[in-house]
Structures are given as C-alpha cells and as structure tokens.
C-alpha cells in the first residue's frame, strides 16, 4: 500500500488502512473499494492523506497504533488538558487520568519498538478538531523510534512519549481562527502563536506528578541548535536532549501534514529539510540517526527518476535509503514491460521526485 494525498485518490482505489472516528469506531474498513461519494465524504471529514492499494501495490503494512488505543490516548489527553487549563484542577481526577495515560503509553512503547513499519505508517486520522492530536501522536511515534536509536533507556522513552503527546498543549491558548487560518500568519498572530511553548510549560507545571521532561519539552521544542529559535534563543546542548529530539520530529511531521494554506510535503522532501538543518536548526547527532530512521521512499511509492523513467519502489537498501530498487513501468513517456532497476548499482541515476500517478495515466 502507499500513502497518497486525497486529491490523488481515484474511484476504484482500495483503502489500505481502516479509518476510524475519534471514539475508535471503524468508519471504513481496510479493503473497501472507494467510490466517488466515499472520497467526497472523506474530504469533508478532513482527511488529507489515505493509504491505498491498487494494481501496483504489493507490500502489506501493519497498523502500529490500533484505532482503539489512539482513541483512548486522545480521550485521556483531552481530559488532562481540560483539568490543566482550569485555574484549580481537581488533583485526584487529574492524577487518575495521568496514571491511565502513562499505562497506555507504556504498552504502546512495545508496539512501536516492535514494529519495523512504525515510521512509514504514521497516522492518517482526519485533520480538523483532532489535528493537534494527529500531529502529537505522530511526533510521539517518531520520537520514541529516534530515542531508541539513540539508546535511551525505557524510562526515558516513556518520558519522551508523554512529553510528545503534550508538547503543543500551549496551543490550547491560541485562538482557533489563528490555528486554522487558511493563509500565512500576520506578525502579531505569529507573536501570539510563539507564546505556545511557554503557555504549555505553565499548564503542565500544574501536573506535579508528571516528570519535568514533559513541560521542558513543551518549553524548548522550538529552540534551534544555533540559538535562533524561540522562546529563549537557547543554543546547542543548553536545551534538553528530549527537546532536541522533539524539535526534529516536530518539524518533520508538520511539513508532511497538509495545512489550510498549503499541501503537505512528501516524506523525502521533509526528510531532506531536516538533514539540511543539521548544525543550524537541529542537533547533528540527532539528524544522523533520524536520516537512517526515516525511509524517504517506502515500498510501493511511485517515483520519477532523474532520467525521466517512472516506476514503483520494490526494495529498500538499508544502507542507502536514497537509492531504492525500482520496478520501471514508464520509459521515454511510454508504458513498457516492467523490469527492475537497483539504484544502489548505478551512480548516474537518482530518484528525482515522488509522484502519485504515472505520466501515461494522466487525464
């Protein structure tokens, strides 16, 4: 299966991953053939990308986070947010919710660490009210995988998971019109938006039983390695390791998501952006494992090569993620009998772009 923007989904495509509503109920099951009216409805519901299957897809990818678990995490996170944004939260209820969330995340750690597909199979939940949760949960999966690559112990990984879920909690303080504004923000709106790290920190301070890492991640995830970030222009290792991990995952996830004023970048473009930011925006020691973690061209992706040929990714070279094995279907602008091309064996051909259909299918 492969991930495509909803604008590129056609009637007759088969859904590659079940879709559920916020309470974990299945809306559409994996394997359903999509009709025009299903596709229209999914757009109205706020889905921006979908996993689909068609005659070119071969790979099976398992769901990392089960819809029920996602619904439970969102439910607990909402309840905790509600408590913390009150002036005097009920500490007993707050404690209960935090304990519950911690134990769900503990079990989720095993699912994430045990899944080779975790990074290529991020959530595609709908994008309106829960959009901050989609972002936070995807950041959580990435951060845990990255933390594991950096050899963090289990307790650190759990703290990383909790901190990721709440890193943008301060956005609760930002008016919805600004969060969902379908255009670039004006200077005074940016100023308000940039208050969310400190607001998040202040909210989370009220949850004294949460490890301090969570509120520190909220405070520091927009700081940059070269000191040009916000709110405190902290530099290099003046921020916590957890915050530096969160910074890379945060930017990557945000770039790949659709926004009201632009469509999301492909995984390979967002990955290149993070790699290019090593030493300026991001900690180079984190970018290194990140680049090995995120595969820019997952199996079944459609790609165009630098010589104009087009095909489908069929094999991944673990040591050269940029150079996959591609089954070529289009050459010289024409459909050809397919054959394999292993880019690891050739120096002069590269992947030029991720595409969503072959040029011969256009129209």
Nearer to Fe ion, 141 or 299 (CB): 141
| Binding segment (CB under 5 A) for Fe ion, from list 53-61, 167-175, 204-212, 295-303 | 167-175
Nearer to Fe ion, 133 or 297 (CB): 133
Neighbours of 101 (CB within 10 A): 22
Q: Residue 141: which of 256, 19, 272, 300 has the closest Cα?
A: 256
Query: What Cα–Cα distance (Å) separates residue 294 from each residue in 86, 106, 117, 262, 318?
Result: 39, 23, 10, 23, 11
- Under the binding rule (CB under 5 A), the answer on residue 168 touching Fe ion is yes
Min. distance of Cβ 140 from Fe ion in angstroms? 11
Report whether 299 contacts 279 (CB < 8 A): no
How many residues bind Fe ion (CB under 5 A)? The answer is 2
Min. distance of Cβ 286 from Fe ion in angstroms? 16
Min. distance of Cβ 45 from Fe ion in angstroms? 23
Nearer to Fe ion, 9 or 257 (CB): 257
Nearer to Fe ion, 53 or 168 (CB): 168
Q: Would the CA dihedral through 231, 236, 240, 243 be positive or negative?
A: positive
Nearer to Fe ion, 84 or 316 (CB): 84
Q: Residue 289: which of 244, 350, 342, 352 has the closest Cα?
A: 244
CA 19 to chain centre: 17
**Residue 347 in tokens:** 């120096």
- Under the binding rule (CB under 5 A), the answer on residue 250 touching Fe ion is yes
Nearer to Fe ion, 83 or 196 (CB): 196
Question: Crossing angle of helices 241-256/131-149, nearest 10°?
Answer: 130
The neighbouring-strand residues paired with 33 are 14
What is the x/- site pattern for Fe ion, positions 285-324, by CB under 5 A? ----------------------------------------
Min. distance of Cβ 167 from Fe ion in angstroms? 6
- Return the residues of window 200-229 that contact Fe ion according to CB under 5 A: none
Question: Which residues lie near Fe ion (CB under 5 A)?
Answer: 168, 250
């Amino acid at each position: 299966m492969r991930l495509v923007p909803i604008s590129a989904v056609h009637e007759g495509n088969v859904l590659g991953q079940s879709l559920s509503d916020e309470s974990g109920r299945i809306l559409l099951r994996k394997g359903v053939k999509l009709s025009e009216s299903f596709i229209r409805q999914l757009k109205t519901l706020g889905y921006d990308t979908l996993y689909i299957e068609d005659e070119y897809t071969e790979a099976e990818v398992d769901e990392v986070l089960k819809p029920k678990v996602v619904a439970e995490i969102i439910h607990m996170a909402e309840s905790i947010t509600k408590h913390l944004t009150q002036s005097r939260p009920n500490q007993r209820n707050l404690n209960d919710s935090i304990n519950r969330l911690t134990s769900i995340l503990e079990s989720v750690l095993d699912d994430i660490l045990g899944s080779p597909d975790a990074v290529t199979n991020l959530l595609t939940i709908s994008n309106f009210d829960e959009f901050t949760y989609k972002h936070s949960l995807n950041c959580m999966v990435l951060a845990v995988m990255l933390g594991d690559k950096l050899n963090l112990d289990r307790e650190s990984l759990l703290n990383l998971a909790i901190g990721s879920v709440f890193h943008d909690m301060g956005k609760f303080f930002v008016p919805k019109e600004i969060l969902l504004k379908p255009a670039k923000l004006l200077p005074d709106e940016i100023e308000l938006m940039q208050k969310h790290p400190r607001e998040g920190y202040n909210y989370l301070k009220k949850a004294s039983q949460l490890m301090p890492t969570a509120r520190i991640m909220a405070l520091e995830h927009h700081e940059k390695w070269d000191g040009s970030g916000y709110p405190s222009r902290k530099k290099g290792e003046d921020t916590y390791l957890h915050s530096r991990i969160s910074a890379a995952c945060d930017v990557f996830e945000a770039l790949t998501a659709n926004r009201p004023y632009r469509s999301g970048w492909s995984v390979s473009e967002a990955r290149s952006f993070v790699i290019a930011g090593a030493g300026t925006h991001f900690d180079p020691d984190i970018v290194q494992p990140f680049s090995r973690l995120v595969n820019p061209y997952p199996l079944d992706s459609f790609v165009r090569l630098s010589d104009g040929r087009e095909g489908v990714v069929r094999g991944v070279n673990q040591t050269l993620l940029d150079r996959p094995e591609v089954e070529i279907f289009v050459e010289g602008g024409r459909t050809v009998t397919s054959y394999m091309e292993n880019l690891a064996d050739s120096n002069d051909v590269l992947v030029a772009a991720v595409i969503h259909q072959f040029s011969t299918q256009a129209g």
